[in-house]
């Protein structure tokens, strides 16, 4: 029987074992690993900080190895390879003979030769044992720095934040992720990281680690320093190739066992895979190419298939770094390639997108996505498969309707397109599992093809292919909320309304199962608010931070205060009150684009005091924190403007007061313009009203932001009464039928029949539900009450607004600075 010895027991080693088992290799397999546990998922290592549960990261149990006839040896290090006698020796002097030897030794963290790097408090971020030591030490300190601003460094920064440590990232390069992001992208990522409380220090060369026995800080070559008690080094990796030189195996200049396309070293019976292998002088630091290498070796050993070769790997990546979507694909820079770049940057929304287009405009060469990477999978496929671009390539990032933007859908992909790079699964493989094997859900696809079982980045595209294929087969697609509610949002809406259900717990008991999750809880909270319009604070168990404290949490941990100013119209007396409140509580003050005044920097315990002053002056909550109506912007209209046709201010105030407090699947904004000059920018809103000679035009389904949309005409030359009637119907129909967190624009576009269908339902009342929608709106309007007024008058609720349970003091961690005569947050 053929003897196979695998040195190393990481993710790639496990994948090789899995492939050999699948191919029914008639071989004796022994796996020798240094770590005390079987292979685990290093890609999601930071998840260990959530509950310290190593089992969740496990790739397979010890029983899996034994059940498949694999001998697993842990806590043992191979120290010698005897090529002449074909055996390896461990540090315990155990010997194992082989016919084929596979080196999957992986890599080690690169530790720069910095003076003092051996002090207590300095760690590397590589194994579960590393994390356990970090977590134990992190309980003794209050601050941590990460040396390295690349992918692993930012993951390490998340680990430090998860330990509630003041966190800094120190990077030698002038920007974060210098191998993946350009200058604009790096600056935006820096800004987003700072918003999350991470201090970013760029262009810093560390000269020494300060301190005696334990570190107390870092000194830099520019004569600056950082006071910090703990350091996590994430400055790159070094292939574990120390066995090679002694055994006479060729090692690349930059490290790693030199391998050919069959993954053979210069000894044809010794293979190397994963991060210890150097193919064409390239070390691949991602798991997906390691899996490809494992497949190649399994084919050589099990099937003697010399045609299956490793031919390099596309290093495109998509990941979420501390809650921030970051992706790059193809050539993100095209520094030495003729190209035409297309980019959009929205600093306020925290979104940056760049596409590199060939000079002839026919091919996509690469790109960068930050803040919104929903279209990554489709753009990546377009790059890999050299798919034709639409006439206006900017549509791919400007319209962004998800998975390929407005221009391309998954049906345009060839069957050969590789959808899951971790498991090398094509679109054709997925379609066959659906069409031939009867698979109807994501879990079924995972079992049938293993797509999505690796890093999981392909799952959105896998789901789109599933839905697209099922639709073509004539199947009905049900978008159930989650595993706890086997109902769509619209079905839950009807169940809540018909059965007069008022709480999440009641709904879960009657129509759900389990304990619920972070998907269904906010979705149900939104439904309850949209149906009954009762005080949101009564839903104490299922609120996010903004709803819990009736305020948007801002950079530095402070909150914003936004009183409602309908139509932008405000009396001098009310202006004075806002000024007095801002001055008394030292709040940053800004006039917004939505014609109201934002007050920033309020501490949690000051919120009731601030709102008490505002409520007493006649203000109401502006609902800037909720998925609800924000503002109805107006121009001065016929009241002052010589071009104005009608009273746009009065109508905007009427509309805003009608729908204030209205909770919906996503935020709502409106506008009323007094003439076609459109000074209120009404067509950039979810609903917009523009005066005409004969009355008003009503537009719906617009929005600004990273993916701007122009609203389209629903009805023209109609009266004020008709505007209100159609708006009642439109908004209630949207509330009832949209998906969670879906704005009016994508909801409207995805309705079968689009705007033409909406005209039939809303204006022509083709479904006969017009009166019901109007009645439902009247119920919501009748139930409205100012949330802040209720909060400050209810002693039990008012007690919630405190940083600490045993004192009324402010949070001492919140720091501010003064610029331009106002107070700003300091990066914390």
Q: What is the pLDDT of residues 32-86, one digit of tens each?
A: 999 999 999 888 787 777 667 888 889 999 999 999 999 999 999 999 999 999 9
Q: What is the pLDDT of residue 372?
A: 83
Among 101-115, 208-222, 361-375, 393-407, the range scoring the smallest mean pLDDT is 393-407
Q: What angle do CA 649, 654, 655 make, to 5 degrees?
A: 100
586: left (phi over 0), alpha (psi -120 to 50) or beta: left
C-alpha distances (whole Å) from 237 to each of 254, 288, 313 are 11, 17, 18
Q: What is the pLDDT of residues 728-753, one digit of tens each?
A: 999 999 999 998 889 999 899 888 88
Of 709, 706, 677, 707, nearest in space to 690 by CA: 677
Rg over CA atoms, the chain: 30
Among 248-262, 565-579, 812-826, the range scoring the smallest mean pLDDT is 812-826
Per-residue pLDDT band for 541 (boundaries 50, 70, 90) equals: low
C-beta separation of 731 from 670 below 8 A? no
Distance separating alpha carbons of residues 202 and 190, to the nearest angstrom: 10
Distance separating alpha carbons of residues 734 and 743, to the nearest angstrom: 9
- Which residues in 191-211 are b (16+ Cβ under 10 Å) and which e? ebbbebbbbbbbebebbbbbb
**Which residue matches tokens 């408090």?**
121
Mean of the pLDDT values across residues 205-220?
A: 96
Distance separating alpha carbons of residues 56 and 47, to the nearest angstrom: 9
Per-residue pLDDT band for 408 (boundaries 50, 70, 90) equals: low
Query: Is the pLDDT assigned to residue 540 strictly greater than 70?
Result: no
Per-residue pLDDT band for 405 (boundaries 50, 70, 90) equals: very low
Per-residue pLDDT band for 496 (boundaries 50, 70, 90) equals: very high
Distance separating alpha carbons of residues 141 and 33, to the nearest angstrom: 33
Terminal C-alpha separation, the chain:
62
> Does residue 635 have a known ligand-binding role?
yes
Q: How buried is residue 827: exposed, middle or buried, by Cβ count under 10 Å (0-12/13-18/19+)?
A: middle
Distance separating alpha carbons of residues 724 and 659, to the nearest angstrom: 10
Of 2, 1, 3, 59, nearest in space to 31 by CA: 3
Per-residue pLDDT band for 683 (boundaries 50, 70, 90) equals: very high
Helices (H), 196-233: none
With a pLDDT cut of 70, the percent of the chain lying above it is: 97
Helices (H), 425-488: 427-435, 442-449, 459-472
C-beta separation of 828 from 811 below 8 A? no
Mean of the pLDDT values across residues 556-583?
A: 93
Q: Domains in the chain, please, with CATH?
A: 2-106+239-303 (3.50.50.60), 122-235 (3.50.50.60), 481-532 (no CATH), 555-782 (3.30.413.10)
Distance separating alpha carbons of residues 339 and 359, to the nearest angstrom: 5
Query: Is the pLDDT assigned to residue 3 strictly greater than 70?
Result: yes
**Which residue matches tokens 């003439």?**
675
Query: Is the pLDDT assigned to residue 404 strictly greater than 80?
Result: no
Of 99, 80, 400, nearest in space to 245 by CA: 80
Size (the chain), residues? 828
Helices then strands, each counted (H, E), the chain = 27, 39
User: Which secondary-structure segment (H or E) carries 651?
Assistant: helix 648-659
Q: What is the pLDDT of residue 40?
A: 93
Mean of the pLDDT values across residues 708-726?
A: 94
Q: What is the pLDDT of residue 269?
A: 96
Q: What is the pLDDT of residue 179?
A: 86
Query: Is the pLDDT assigned to residue 348 strictly greater than 90?
Result: no
Mean of the pLDDT values across residues 256-270?
A: 96
Query: Is the pLDDT assigned to residue 827 strictly greater than 70?
Result: no
Per-residue pLDDT band for 323 (boundaries 50, 70, 90) equals: low
> Does residue 679 have a known ligand-binding role?
yes
Query: Is the pLDDT assigned to residue 499 strictly greater than 50?
Result: yes
Query: Is the pLDDT assigned to residue 598 strictly greater than 70?
Result: yes
Average confidence score pLDDT of the chain: 90
Q: What is the pLDDT of residue 403?
A: 38
Query: Is the pLDDT assigned to residue 401 strictly greater than 50?
Result: no
Per-residue pLDDT band for 544 (boundaries 50, 70, 90) equals: low
Query: Is the pLDDT assigned to residue 349 strictly greater than 90?
Result: no
Using DSSP's 3-state secondary structure scheme, residue 497 falls into helix
Mean of the pLDDT values across residues 433-442?
A: 89
Query: Is the pLDDT assigned to residue 569 strictly greater than 70?
Result: yes
> Does residue 675 have a known ligand-binding role?
yes
């Amino acid at each position: 029987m053929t003897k196979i010895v695998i040195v190393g027991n990481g993710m790639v080693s496990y994948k090789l074992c899995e492939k050999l088992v699948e191919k029914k290799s008639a071989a004796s397999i022994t796996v020798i690993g240094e770590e005390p546990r079987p292979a685990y998922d290093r890609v999601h290592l930071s998840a260990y900080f959530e509950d310290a549960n190593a089992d969740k990261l496990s790739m397979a149990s010890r029983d899996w190895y034994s059940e498949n006839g694999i001998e697993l040896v842990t806590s043992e290090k191979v120290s010698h390879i005897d090529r002449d006698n074909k055996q390896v020796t461990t540090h315990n002097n155990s010997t194992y003979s082989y016919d084929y030897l596979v080196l999957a030794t992986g890599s080690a963290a690169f530790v720069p030769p910095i003076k003092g790097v051996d002090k207590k408090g300095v760690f590397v971020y590589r194994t579960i044992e590393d994390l356990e030591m970090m977590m134990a030490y992190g309980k003794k300190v209050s601050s941590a720095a990460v040396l390295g601003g690349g992918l692993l460094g930012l993951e390490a920064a998340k680990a430090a934040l998860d330990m509630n440590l003041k966190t800094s990232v120190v990077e030698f390069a002038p920007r974060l992720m210098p191998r993946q992001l350009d200058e604009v992208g790096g600056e935006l990522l820096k800004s987003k990281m700072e918003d999350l409380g991470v201090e970013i220090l760029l262009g810093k060369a560390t000269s020494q680690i300060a301190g005696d026995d334990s570190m107390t800080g870092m000194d830099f070559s520019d004569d600056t320093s950082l006071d910090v008690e703990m350091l996590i080094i994430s400055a790159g990796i070094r292939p574990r190739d120390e066995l090679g030189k002694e055994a006479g195996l060729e090692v690349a200049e930059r490290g790693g066992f030199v391998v050919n396309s069959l993954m053979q070293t210069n000894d044809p019976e010794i293979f190397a895979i994963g991060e210890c292998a150097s193919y064409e002088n390239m070390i691949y630091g991602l798991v997906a190419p390691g899996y490809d290498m494992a497949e190649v070796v399994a084919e050589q050993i099990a099937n003697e298939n010399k045609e299956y070769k490793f031919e390099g790997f596309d290093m495109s990546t998509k990941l979420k770094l501390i809650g921030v979507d970051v992706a790059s694909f193809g050539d993100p820079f095209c520094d030495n390639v003729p190209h035409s770049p297309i980019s959009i940057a929205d600093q306020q929304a925290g979104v940056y997108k760049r596409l590199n287009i060939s000079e002839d405009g026919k091919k996509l060469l690469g790109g960068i996505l930050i803040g919104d990477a929903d279209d990554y999978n489709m753009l990546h496929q377009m790059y890999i498969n050299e798919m034709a671009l639409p006439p206006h390539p900017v549509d791919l990032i400007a319209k962004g309707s998800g998975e390929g933007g407005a221009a391309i859908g998954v049906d345009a992909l060839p069957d050969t397109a590789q959808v899951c790079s971790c498991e090398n699964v094509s679109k054709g493989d997925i379609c066959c599992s659906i069409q031939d094997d009867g698979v109807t859900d994501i879990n079924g696809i995972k079992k049938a093809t293993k797509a999505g079982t690796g890093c999981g980045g392909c799952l959105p595209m896998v789901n789109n292919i599933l839905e697209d294929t099922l639709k073509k087969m004539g199947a009905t697609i049900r978008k159930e909320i989650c595993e706890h509610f086997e109902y769509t949002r619209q079905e839950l809406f009807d169940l809540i309304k018909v059965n007069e259900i008022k709480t999440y717990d009641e709904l879960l008991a009657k129509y759900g199962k389990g304990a619920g999750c972070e998907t269904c809880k906010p979705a149900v909270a939104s439904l309850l608010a949209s149906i009954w319009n009762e005080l949101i604070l009564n839903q104490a168990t299922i609120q996010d931070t903004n709803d819990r404290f009736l305020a948007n949490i801002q950079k530095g941990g402070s909150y914003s205060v936004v009183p409602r100013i309908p139509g932008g119209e405000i009396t001098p007396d009310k202006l004075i009150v806002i000024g007095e409140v801002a001055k008394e509580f030292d709040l940053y003050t800004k006039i917004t684009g939505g014609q109201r005044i934002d007050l920033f920097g309020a501490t949690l315990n000051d919120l009731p005091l601030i709102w008490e002053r505002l409520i007493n002056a006649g203000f109401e909550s502006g609902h800037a924190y909720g998925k609800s109506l924000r503002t109805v912007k107006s121009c001065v209209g016929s009241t002052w403007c010589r071009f104005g046709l009608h009273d746009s201010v009065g109508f905007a105030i009427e509309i805003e007061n009608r729908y204030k407090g209205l909770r919906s699947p996503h935020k709502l904004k409106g506008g009323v313009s007094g003439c076609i000059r459109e000074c209120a920018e009404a067509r950039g809103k979810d609903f917009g009203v523009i005066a005409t000679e004969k009355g008003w035009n009503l537009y719906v389904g617009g929005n600004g932001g990273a993916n701007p949309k122009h609203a389209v005409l629903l009805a023209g030359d109609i009266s004020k009464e008709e505007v209100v009637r159609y708006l009642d119907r439109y908004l209630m129909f949207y509330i009832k039928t949209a998906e969670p967190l879906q704005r009016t624009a994508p909801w409207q576009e995805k309705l079968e029949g689009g705007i033409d269908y909406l005209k039939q339902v809303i204006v022509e009342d083709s479904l006969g539900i017009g009166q019901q929608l109007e009645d439902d709106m009247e119920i919501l309007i009748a139930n409205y009450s100012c949330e802040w007024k209720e909060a400050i008058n209810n002693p039990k609720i008012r007690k919630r607004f405190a940083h600490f349970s045993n004192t009324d003091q402010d949070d001492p961690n919140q720091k501010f600075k003064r610029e331009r005569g106002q107070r700003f947050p300091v990066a914390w």
